[in-house]
Every structure is written in C-alpha cells, then in structure tokens.
C-alpha cells in the first residue's frame, strides 16, 4: 500500500502530527518475500489517549481521510468542550458513534448520555468478540465510542490480536535465504500524536 510514500500524506501528517512507530509483531522473510505481519495505525493525544485507529494497511487516500477526520473532530471537540475533559471525551464518543452508527443501529442511541466507564481488557475484548460481523473500522469506531480516549497501552494488544488478526511478538524478523532491501514495514504500529488532549 505504501500510503506514507505519497507526498500529500506525508505533508499533512508532518503538519499536524508527530509520528513514530513501534514493532509489536514479527514476520518471516523467505528468499526476499515477506510472510505474515501486519499494521495498526493510531492517532493519539500527547498522553496516549487514542483518538482514532486504523486496522491493517490502507491506501494513501484512506490514511489521509482518517487523519483529516481526526484533526477536524479534535478542533470541534476542543471548541465545544473548552477545558471540560469529560465533555471532550463525550464529544469523541459521539463522533465515533456517528461515523458508522447508521450501519449498526447506533444512530438511535443518545451516546452523549451514556455514562463514561473505565475500560478493562475483558470489557474491550467482549466488545470486539461481539462485533465480528462488522468490518474492522466499524469495530474500532464502536470500541472507541464505548471507551473514548482509551490509553494506547491498554488497547493496542487487543486491537492487534482481535481486529488485525496477528499475534504480539518481540521476536526479531526471521530472514531465510536472500536478504531483502526492506524487511520491516507492515508489522509496525504507527502512532501519530495530536496536541495535548
């Protein structure tokens, strides 16, 4: 897919985000061909609250669309909530629910009135297990509507294993045969940080 190679994507991300990556999985390279591995991308606050996530590799237009949605939604939420963090979280909840709400009946629910609760691994895993008929992005939006601004360190493992469909691993890339020019790439978690909250 190589979405980050497109100048318009790189320019936009560089303007609004600080980007980094973390290897969370592994793959094998056999005679120069990658086998396995995947990616999950996150847009986060400076303190690690997940604003949005993308499961799997996407093309440049999809990545740019998601980045723009994060920037515009964040600006609106900051304007609406001011310094009220609970209102800010509720604004993100509603934004995620509205994003795909029409597809699975979330539009009828008053998400702004649903109490904010602390996420746990079991609760988040239950949501992901109950939504396997939805596509990956719909599952992520439902998860982030339920637990807006969940911390990246609480959720990345669940997303990588339950949505992306890969196992977490600290093992190095296993190269068999000829050494490829670029072995890394799709096993990385890309994190883009947007502002203080």
Give the side-chain half-sphere CA count within 13 A for 193: 11
8 touches 64 (CB < 8 A): yes
What's residue 182's pLDDT? 41
Higher local confidence (pLDDT), 109 or 3 = 3
- In the structure, what pLDDT confidence band is assigned to residue 179 with cuts at 50, 70 and 90? very low
Of 3-7, 96-100, 145-149, which has the strongest mean pLDDT?
145-149
What's residue 119's pLDDT? 93
Higher local confidence (pLDDT), 116 or 68 = 68
pLDDT at 143 over 60: yes
Mean pLDDT across the stretch 141-157?
93
53 touches 43 (CB < 8 A): yes
What's residue 60's pLDDT? 92
Rounded to whole angstroms, the Cα distance separating 137 from 128 reads 11
DSSP secondary-structure letter at 151? Answer: B
Higher local confidence (pLDDT), 124 or 195 = 124
Higher local confidence (pLDDT), 43 or 111 = 43
pLDDT in tens, 33-86: 665 567 888 999 989 999 999 998 889 999 999 999 999 999 999 999 999 999
User: pTM surpassing 0.85?
Assistant: no
What would the two tokens of residue 124 be? 């988040």
Partner residues linked to 174 by β-bridges: 28
pLDDT, mean over the chain = 80
DSSP secondary structure string, 13-80?
HHHH-EEEEEE----EEETTEEES---EEEEE-TT-BEEEEEES---HHHHHHHHHHHHHHHHHHHHH
What's residue 75's pLDDT? 95
What's residue 18's pLDDT? 83
pLDDT at 141 over 80: yes
The percent of residues above 70 in pLDDT, for the chain, comes to 73
């Amino acid at each position: 897919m190589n979405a980050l190679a497109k100048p318009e994507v790189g320019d936009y991300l560089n303007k609004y985000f600080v980007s980094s990556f973390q290897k969370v999985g592994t793959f094998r390279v056999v005679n120069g061909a990658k086998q396995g591995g995947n990616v999950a991308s996150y847009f986060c606050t400076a303190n690690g609250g997940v604003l949005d996530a993308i499961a799997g590799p996407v093309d440049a237009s999809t990545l740019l669309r998601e980045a723009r949605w994060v920037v515009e939604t964040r600006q609106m939420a900051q304007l609406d909530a001011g310094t009220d963090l609970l209102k800010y979280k509720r604004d993100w909840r509603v934004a995620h629910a509205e994003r795909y709400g029409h597809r699975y009946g979330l539009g009828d629910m008053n998400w702004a009135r649903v109490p904010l609760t602390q996420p746990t691994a079991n609760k988040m895993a239950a949501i992901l297990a109950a939504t396997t008929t939805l596509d990956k992005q719909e599952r992520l939006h439902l998860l982030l509507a339920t637990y807006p601004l969940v911390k990246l360190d609480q959720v990345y493992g669940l997303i990588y294993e339950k949505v992306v469909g890969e196992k977490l691993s600290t093992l190095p890339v296993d190269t068999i045969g000829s050494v490829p020019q670029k072995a890394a790439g799709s096993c990385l978690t890309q994190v883009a940080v947007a502002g203080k909250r």
